[in-house]
Amino acid sequence: MIRVGVVGGTGYTGVELLRLLLCHPDVTVSVITSRSEAGRRLDDLFPSLLGTCELAFTDPAQADYSSCDVVFFATPHNVAMREVPTLLDQGIRVVDLSADFRLKDVGVWEQWYGETHRSPALCAEAVYGLPETHREAIRAARLVACPGCYPTAVQLGFLPLLEAGIIDTTQLIASCGSGVSGAGRQAKLGSLLTEAGESLAAYGVAGHRHLPEMEQGLSGMAAQPVQLTFVPHLVPMSRGIHATLFAQLNTKGADLQALFEKRFAHEPSVAVLPAGAFPATRNVRGANICQLAVAQPQGRDTVVVMSVIDNLVKGAAGQAVQAMNLMLDQPEMAGLEGIALAP
Residues 228 and 246: beta-carbon distance below 8 Å: no
How much of the chain is helix, strand and coil, in % rounded to 5? Answer: 35, 20, 45
Residues 328 and 69: beta-carbon distance below 8 Å: yes
Q: Which amino acid is at 302?
A: T
Of the candidates 320, 309, 338, which has an alpha carbon nearest to the alpha carbon of residue 25? Answer: 338
**Residue of 68, 146, 149, 290 marked active site:** 149
3-state secondary structure at position 101: coil
Q: Which amino acid is at 91?
A: G
| Beta strands per DSSP E along the chain | 2-7, 27-33, 70-73, 93-96, 127-128, 143-145, 172-178, 201-202, 228-234, 241-248, 270-272, 290-295, 302-309
C-alpha to C-alpha distances, 296 to 120, 141, 308, nearest whole angstrom = 43, 39, 18
Q: How far apart are CA 207 and CA 17, in angstroms?
A: 29
Running DSSP on this structure, what letter comes out for residue 31?
E
Residues 183 and 166: beta-carbon distance below 8 Å: no
Catalytic status, residue 149 = yes
Q: Which amino acid is at 272?
A: V
Residues marked as catalytic: 149
